[in-house]
Amino acid sequence: MLEFPLETNRVLREAGWEPGRRVDPERWLVAFEEEELRGHAAARDFLAEFGGLAVGHHGHGVSRTREPFAFDPLLCLGEGDRFAEWGALIGRVIFPVGEHDGGRFFLGIDETGELYLVETRLASFGVMPEAMNRLVLGVQPKVVDGRFR
């Protein structure tokens, strides 16, 4: 069971999360089969615990503004090639898990539990559960490939 610092715990609980939360992730995993993206164990586990949650906060963060995010992979439909290309570039399988900042960016997770900000650049929040803390608290993710800075 994941444990989070107080502020992260509070924000997630306000969004409807609680320790041990479980939802069926199958609809999200199946939705990307046509885009030739296969869900892996880390994506399945992440979506089972956080799928369907949305956090609408704004304001100052640790090293960037706190921005809203939603863990709904269906918000990423049609972007499968973007996830597949970034995954191939870094040698990982990145599965969509939602969007960030009202759709300005996408969120994905790889098979090791690393959470990414996906757009014309790829940036990492780190590995779960610390990645969730960084996302919630407004910590700037680290650019994985500097070609698009």
Task: Render pLDDT for 38-49 as a digit per residue (tens, 0 to 9).
Answer: 999 999 999 999
149 within some domain: no
50 within some domain: yes
Containing structural domain, residue 87: 6-144
144-149 average pLDDT score: 56
pLDDT over threshold 90, residue 147 = no
Distances from the Cα of 95 to the Cα of 28, 44, 56, 69, angstroms: 10, 10, 22, 16
pLDDT of residue 101: 94
76 within some domain: yes
43 within some domain: yes
| Model confidence band, residue 1 (pLDDT cutoffs 50, 70, 90) | low
Tally the domains of the chain. 1
1 within some domain: no
* pTM as predicted: 0.94
Distance CA 10, CA 26 (A): 27
